[in-house]
Chains A and B, each alone.
Chain A
Amino acid sequence: MVPRFWRKIKYRYDLVGSYCENCGNHFYPPRNFCPVCRRRGAVRETELPDEGTVLSYTVIRDGEPCVVALIELKNGSKLVSQLACSPEEVRTGMRVRKVFRRYGEDGEEGIIHYGTKFVPSE
């Protein structure tokens, strides 16, 4: 698990996605190939906006309730992420901003997984 996690750190910690200079589309997770322009595409890395809106969400009830949401960022790209807030707080249309949080670990002595979560920004 470590190498796979490690090679994504740049994208998970800073929310780095990709941008196609040919069609203007943003992608997250990042792609090395533009699915719209294909060979004409010119894909560059880009940092995504910090803020977005909740399009839909769920509260996973398997253990501690955990809020997982589909979020649309200000540039129109969408991502699924955890919300670091209580299940009572979340609602569709809520404005959120990204934060750096712990996601889990590989056992007691294993590596800790960090990544981007979102919190209410209103």
Chain B
Amino acid sequence: MRRVAVVGVGQSRFGELWEKGFRDIVLEAGAEALTDADLEGREIEAIYVGNMSAGRYIGQEHVAALIADYAGLAEFGIPATRVEAADASGGLAVRQAYMAVAAGLHDIVIAAGAEKVTDVGDPMEILSASVDIEWERFVGGSLPALYAIMARMHMETFGTTEEDLAMVSVKNHRNGAKNPKAQYRTEISIDSVLNSPYVADPLKLLDCASISDGAAAVILASGEIARKITDTPVYIEACTQASDYLALQNRKDILTMKAVVKAGREAYRFAGILPRDIDVVEVHDSFTIAEILAYEDLGFAEKGRGAELIREGVTELDGDLPVNPSGGLKSCGHAVGATGVRQIVELTLQLRGDAGKRQVDAEKGLALNVGGTGATAVVSILGR
């Protein structure tokens, strides 16, 4: 296998982008990545587009060909592939691009992720199609409801509190306030989280990431070519994927995302490092409980002790292990298919030293992108 490096990154702003369409935001992110890599565009040999539900959000399918067309690459007839794994679609698009370059099939590939959700009335209903719609959704088990069931069980089993969950949200907003691409660039207090209305007990409105419009893109190149393109390549040292039973009710342990544990362990083994070697992390905080579970399932805390990391400030921007310096899904907004790619953009900026006011000191970064309630997990480890 060949080494693979990130040589260019770009992202649109995340949020309610009423004035822009799906193709506009993807091209915005792609153009920024090309500018960042100082490439013209015709060097690109393949495109992977992470997208969950364009068919339901905007009524358009065949979006990978659409993007190749509007990027001016249909002229060259390059392969364009859409990748879907619910809200892990973006992470998986990066993995497909990574595998294509690592295998030697292509030298320079772009992985983009995008979702345009504000064109419909109830984006959460569409996102909830990532659970088992016949057996979970039918009885009211929406995505927030199932995460709430996990949250209550974690609280009653391990003593995690609603304040602990609120602190995750407060931290991520504090970080996101420093990110010009984030949807919500305002700090919030613990009280404002605790006093926000319940969506699904014990999760409140400010425990949940909002579903947003947005796009992100990364350009990957083989290690050899990367050195000719940039002086600051960031290497993908592992990019693993695992799956689990789709429905929560079929899992033996509701409080462990087995797919995250498996993808994480394989990523550490592949990169030849341990959890303690990681300096900066982007995790899938679609709900605050998801970040606590990620601390445990990725080996940063023992099972049941995830909340200690947030209580002790370990995962703050100035802590030993900054988690979600970008602001996470909570503050950036969760642009479903874009989120996993945005995480790789953030880690690349952090490892290159280009992260501005939210910069941390880091040599190794890890990203976790989760689909649904954990039936898909993609873990990437990047190093400079």
Contact = CB atoms under 8 A, between A and B. Distances in A.
A103 B247 CA distance: 20
Please indicate which of the listed interface residues A59, A103, A115 has the most CB atoms of chain B within 10 Å of its own CB: A59
Category for how many chain A residues contact B: 20 to 34
A8 B250 CA distance: 18
A87 B248 CA distance: 22
A28 B138 CA distance: 14
Given A56-B153, A57-B149, A4 B254 contact: no
Contacts of B144: 60
Given A4-B134, A70-B248, A80-B146, A59 B198 contact: yes
A46 interface: no
Interface string A8-47: 1000100000000000000111000001000000000000
Interface in A50-92: 55-62, 66, 68-70, 78-82, 87, 92
Nearest to B198: A61
Interface in B103-148: 132, 134-136, 138-142, 144-146, 148
Contacts of B247: 29, 80
Contact of A55 (B146, B148, B200, B254): B254
A58 B148 CA distance: 6
A70 B149 contact: yes
A35 B245 CA distance: 10
A18 to B, nearest CB: 12
A66 B148 CA distance: 13
B201 interface: yes
Contact of A68 (B132, B134, B145, B199): B145
A80 B134 contact: no
B152 interface: yes
B142 A60 contact: yes
A59 B254 contact: no
B197 interface: yes
Given A27-B250, A68-B145, A81 B156 contact: no
Nearest to B155: A56
A56 B254 contact: yes
Contact of A28 (B145, B146, B249): B249
B150 interface: yes
Category for how many chain B residues contact A: 20 to 34
A57 B202 CA distance: 9
Contacts of B146: 80
Given A29-B135, A81-B139, A82-B140, A58 B149 contact: yes
Please indicate which of the listed interface residues B136, B144, B200 has the most CB atoms of chain A within 10 Å of its own CB: B200
Given A4-B134, A60-B140, A60-B200, A92 B156 contact: yes
B134 A29 contact: yes
Interface of A: 4, 8, 12, 27-29, 35, 55-62, 66, 68-70, 78-82, 87, 92, 103, 113, 115, 117
Given A58-B149, A60-B145, A80-B135, 13 more contacts: A29-B132, A56-B254, A57-B149, A58-B148, A58-B203, A60-B142, A61-B200, A66-B140, A68-B139, A68-B145, A69-B149, A80-B141, A115-B139
The 9 A-B residue pairs whose C-beta atoms are closest, nearest first, are A58-B148, A56-B153, A58-B200, A68-B140, A29-B135, A59-B201, A78-B249, A80-B141, A56-B149
29 contacts: A28-B249, A29-B135, A35-B245, A56-B152, A56-B156, A56-B254, A58-B145, A58-B202, A59-B201, A60-B144, A60-B145, A60-B200, A61-B197, A61-B198, A70-B153, A70-B248, A70-B254, A78-B249, A79-B135, A79-B249, A80-B136, A80-B139, A80-B146, A80-B247, A80-B248, A82-B140, A87-B201, A92-B153, A103-B139
Interface of B: 132, 134-136, 138-142, 144-146, 148-150, 152-153, 156, 197-203, 245, 247-250, 254
